[in-house]
Amino acid sequence: MKPEYASLPYLNAVLILETSLEIEALRLSLAGIENAAGRVRTEDRFAPRTLDIDILYAGDKKLVTATLNLPHPRWAERRFVIQPLADVRPALVLPGIEETVLELLEKIPLTPPVRLIEESL
């Protein structure tokens, strides 16, 4: 994250989804949802946006294409991703990682803090 965006508030959540869609069809569907919510894509990939939906993983698949990299290449570096994922899937082990989500969470610094929405209100 760029320093100029560090103080901006945002909401991050994890949703566990089961679908019969192929991965690329799912990605396109999620991009459509982002667009409908008013997302504008710019060259600055860290710029604030109305909605950003990432696919973190798809079962035990490892995938690298021009439009998608699974598991998400930076998921394990970001407390704001690991914390909510650990809330719903603490024992999950993603491809290419030998530790559970909860074990990874325990290694991530507490700053910047991640708070439950009830604590933020």
Would you name the residues annotated as active-site residues?
39, 49, 52, 54
6: nearest Cα among 67, 102, 80, 56: 80
Secondary element (H or E) of residue 64: strand 63-64
Strands 63-64 and 69-70: antiparallel
